[in-house]
């Protein structure tokens, strides 16, 4: 069965070479007219392709021409139509970040992996944390903190020693980065529909940036994070390599 495919690729030479070969073999369709988008590269290329799907909700099938490629299928040129037709679907819900900077300007961004806050200078940041409008921590001194989705739990969240969350767990991970006080706090697991607020203590003296994946806003004073159910995304995986299986395998890796 022939499928209308829009190929997209990162700038890596391996991805660009694959793009040239695959478009010659399977054709190239504009993203607006395609049934499926095929992303070539690493996880960054997959996330870029997924961000363009917030409005049209078209499925994205990734093939690894990058380094890690946790979100990608193995690269293979043959039988692409058949692989896409037999692929398993994983539905992801992004996080919406609403950030207010020290000048009172508001910024809204969507994140597939995580919303993260980081200190901008050598000084640690101090944060006040509320969950569902109830204060849970009066002051956290740290290098940063993040709210991660299940899909993003194996990315930077895992590097910061946060928990791995199975797809469909209906949870978010709240994970500190280099927590100083309280020193032994390791974070929290939150319901997927929780509304998380961060208030920056002394934002002018201790400047902080916020990022929805790689979309950064600097000099922030306040951030709200919540799940956005109006922007579902669909990823396609080869049978036996679905995202929930990859996440499960990652929990037993060492």
Active-site residue numbers? 43
The length of the chain in residues reads 254
The whole-angstrom separation of Cα 61 and Cα 7 is 10
Residue 7 pairs with which residues in a beta bridge? 38
Q: What is the dihedral of CA 15, 18, 19, 23, to 10 degrees?
A: -170
The tokens of 140 are what? 């956290």
- Please, is 65 exposed, middle or buried when counting C-beta atoms within 10 Å of its C-beta (0-12, 13-18, 19+)? buried
**Would you give the DSSP letter of residue 153?**
G
Contact by Cβ (8 Å): 88, 236: yes
Contact by Cβ (8 Å): 171, 139: no
**Would you give the DSSP letter of residue 152?**
G
Closest CA to 112 of 35, 200, 214: 214
Collapsed DSSP state (helix, strand, coil) of residue 234: strand
Collapsed DSSP state (helix, strand, coil) of residue 170: coil
Q: Does 182 sit behind a cis peptide bond, omega within 30 degrees of 0 on the bond before it? A: yes
The tokens of 171 are what? 């949870």
The tokens of 78 are what? 């043959």
The tokens of 139 are what? 């002051």
């Amino acid at each position: 069965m022939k499928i209308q495919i829009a190929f997209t690729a990162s700038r890596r030479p391996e991805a660009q070479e694959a793009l040239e070969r695959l478009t010659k073999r399977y054709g190239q369709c504009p993203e607006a007219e395609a049934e499926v988008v095929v992303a070539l590269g690493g996880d960054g290329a997959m996330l870029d392709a997924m961000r363009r799907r917030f409005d049209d909700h078209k499925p994205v099938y990734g093939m690894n021409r990058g380094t890690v490629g946790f979100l990608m299928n193995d690269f293979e040129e043959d039988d692409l139509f058949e692989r896409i037709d037999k692929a398993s679907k994983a539905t992801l819900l992004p996080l919406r970040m609403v950030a207010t900077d020290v000048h009172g300007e508001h910024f809204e961004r969507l994140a597939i992996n995580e919303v993260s806050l980081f200190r901008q200078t050598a000084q640690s940041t101090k944060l006040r944390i509320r969950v569902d409008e109830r204060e849970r921590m009066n002051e956290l001194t740290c290098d940063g903190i993040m709210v991660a989705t299940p899909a993003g739990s194996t990315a930077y969240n895992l590097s910061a020693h946060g928990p791995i969350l199975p797809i469909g767990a209906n949870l978010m991970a709240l994970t500190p980065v280099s927590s100083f006080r309280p020193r032994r706090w390791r974070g929290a697991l939150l319901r997927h529909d929780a509304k998380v607020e961060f208030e920056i203590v002394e934002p002018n003296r201790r400047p902080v940036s916020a990022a929805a994946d790689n979309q950064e806003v600097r000099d922030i004073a306040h951030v709200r994070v919540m799940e956005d159910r109006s922007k579902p995304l669909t990823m396609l995986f080869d049978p036996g390599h679905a995202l929930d299986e990859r996440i499960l395998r990652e929990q037993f890796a060492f």
